[in-house]
Each structure stands twice: as C-alpha cells, then as structure tokens.
Copies of this chain bind each other. A is one copy, B any other.
Amino acid sequence: MDDGSRAPSSPPTLHDVAREAGVSVATASRALNGSTRNVRSENVSRVRAAAARLGYEPHLSAQAIAKGSTPTVALVVRDVADPYFSSIAAGVTEAAEAARLIVTMAVADRSPERELEIVRTLRGQRPRVIIVAGSRVDEGPDGDKGGPATREALADELEQYRTAGGRVVLISQRDLPFGTVTIDNHGGSRRLAGALLGLGYRRFAILRAPDAIRTSRERVAGFLAGLGSAGPAEPLVVETEFTREGGYDAARALAERGLGDVEIVFAVNDVMAIGAMTALRDAGITPGAGVAVAGFDDIGSAVDVFPGLTSVAVPLRDAGRQAVRLALSDGGAREVRIETEVVVRASTPPRRA
C-alpha cells in the first residue's frame, strides 16, 4: 500500500545528473559549479535541465571533502534566548548569508567546560570561521572560575584550528591572541556615570555579574572610573547572575533589606536592569521616582519598559556583522572596536540637588 511513506531512496548524485544529461561527471561538475566557461553552452543547459528534473542538490559534505573546508560559520553563544546574543546572532547570520555561508550555532549555556567541548567538536566540522561570543572562559582578576586550565585548553584548541587554516574571531574578549570585536564597555559606562553625575545622582548601587565575565568587569571598572575616586559616596556593589533573574533577585534583596540612601541602581546589562525594575516595583518602589535605574546594551525592550530605561547603546547586530567581516578579511589578528553611546531616558530623571 502506497501510503506516502515510501522506502527512503537515496538522493540523486552528480553521476545521475551526468548520465541523464549524457555527459561525463567531470563535465556535469564543471557545468554546475566550476569554470562554466570551458563547457559548451549547449551542455551547460542540458546538465542544468537534468539537475532540475532530478531535483539534484550537490552534497555539501562531498564538496567539503574534495575542496578542504565547509562553507560555514560556526557561532558559539552563551544563550540564544538572551536578546544580547540573539542580536549578535542576527548580525552574524546576516553577514554570513551575504557571503553565501551557512551558520551553525552552539550554546555554551552550562559551563566553560561545555564551551571547550563545543569548540573541540566544532573543529571537526572544519568550518571556515569560528566566532565565540561572550565566553565565560576568561581570567578573572584572581584567575578563578573558568580556570586557567580550561582557558589554556580553549586557547590551544582555537590555535590548532587556526594553524589548520581556520579563522577565529572573539566577540568582547580582548586578551586571547585572535581576531576580536571589542565593545567599548569601559568608555560607555564611564560616560554613563558622568551623565548620571550630571543629572544630580550621588549615591549608587551597582549590580554586577561574577568576575569570570569580562564584560561585567569592564563595565564596573568604567563606571567606577566615571564616578571618580574623589567623588560621591562609596557605591554599594552587589554580585549576582548575569541574567534577568539575577537582576530581579538582587534588587529584591536590596529592597527588602532597605535601600538606605541609594538614589540609583546601575545594572551591568539591560536584562538585569529590567529585572531589577520589576523587583523594585514588586517591593512597592516606583522605578524612576523612588529609585532611578540604568542599564547597559540598549536592547530593544529598553524603550518599552516604563519608565524607559537609561542605557548605553551597543550596536550588537553590527558587532555580529563585523565579526564575520573581520574573519573573512585577510590580515592577521586584527581588532574591530564597536563604539557605544549613552542614551538617557525617563528611568533616570534629573535630580535637583
């Protein structure tokens, strides 16, 4: 009974196309991919027609093995569902598709070890490019978490890949010897701090992520630099997760044990800041009125929360695009710097002195 579930027949190969068109495989190959110029136009159309008739699609793996590498860009992110990374991913896919490259994506959510494992198996894919965004494997000031061992292993792995002819680009992680797209975290938060001082704020709380995350470190450092050592009161620094929940929990805890004289909460990214806003509101404190809030990244929803979230705009999608361009451009381990820009919104109203 022919119920639609036929036995899987293998897809047509170049041989089939050649036979159908009455030419050799070599000619068929040339007609479809290679130097079309050296094939009689009549044969070209014959082959093309045969291919269409059979529904032929070249076997990418076979091409890859014959040519050497796969037309793919491998992207490693910490969490696709996080708007930070999905924006980068959007930029990467955009640029990759423009260069007729396929994007493969892996999520290193769990741990630095997982990230290492991913890069290892990625090497097996022989992609043209590997892009690692927002790694956790990073020497903290005390060289903790990710662990120098894991870090070394990752660098080794990437180095082997590069030695074999692959291109490596890191996003936001300056101190490994590869092509890098850096985001001006330090400058951005420094200027943000300046802007907030200008608005009249003096007593700060900072929600930061664990030290293993370089982005967080840089943003905190920049912010403190912007406040100036001789400046206002010592800010209250709280460590939490680098996620919306982390921001919520930290702000909640803060509100419950009393905010004291804190006038404004700066979270090192927007998802944390937005979580914090909700936590404050849940605790009966109106963001913007009771306590001001500022974030970093200027993700899409920053304009849709209420009040609008003051933040530092990072053109993440562009960062993704640049990463691909950097990888594809010749020339050694260069660096592309992504500039950031302070965006003041209603979550940090001017404060009269």
Contact = CB atoms under 8 A, between A and B. Distances in A.
Contacts of A35: none
A289 interface: no
A10 B102 contact: no
A120 B57 contact: yes
A5 interface: yes
A86 B80 contact: yes
A317 B80 CA distance: 11
Contacts of A123: 11, 57
Contacts of A160: 11, 55
A260 interface: no
Interface stretch (A185-193, A227-235, A261-269, A296-304): A296-304
A6 B97 CA distance: 29
Contacts of A45: none
Contacts of A79: 90
Interface string A157-189: 100100111000000000001000000000000
Contacts of A87: 81
A11 B304 contact: no
B60 A125 contact: yes
A292 B346 CA distance: 22
Interface in A56-95: 57-62, 64-65, 68, 70, 72, 79-81, 83, 86-87, 89-90, 93-94
Contacts of A38: none
Residue of A125, A156, A160, A333 with highest tally of chain B CB at under 10 A: A125
A80 B275 CA distance: 22
A41 interface: no
Residue of A68, A89, A124, A164 with highest tally of chain B CB at under 10 A: A124
B4 A177 contact: yes
Contact of A105 (B68, B103, B157, B332): B103
A163 B70 contact: no
Contacts of A317: 81
Interface string A89-126: 11001100100001111110000000000001101111
Contact of A125 (B97, B102, B107, B275): B102
A278 interface: yes
B90 A124 contact: no
Contacts of A55: 156-157, 160
B124 A105 contact: no
A61 B127 CA distance: 10
Contacts of A324: none
Contacts of A59: 65, 124, 126
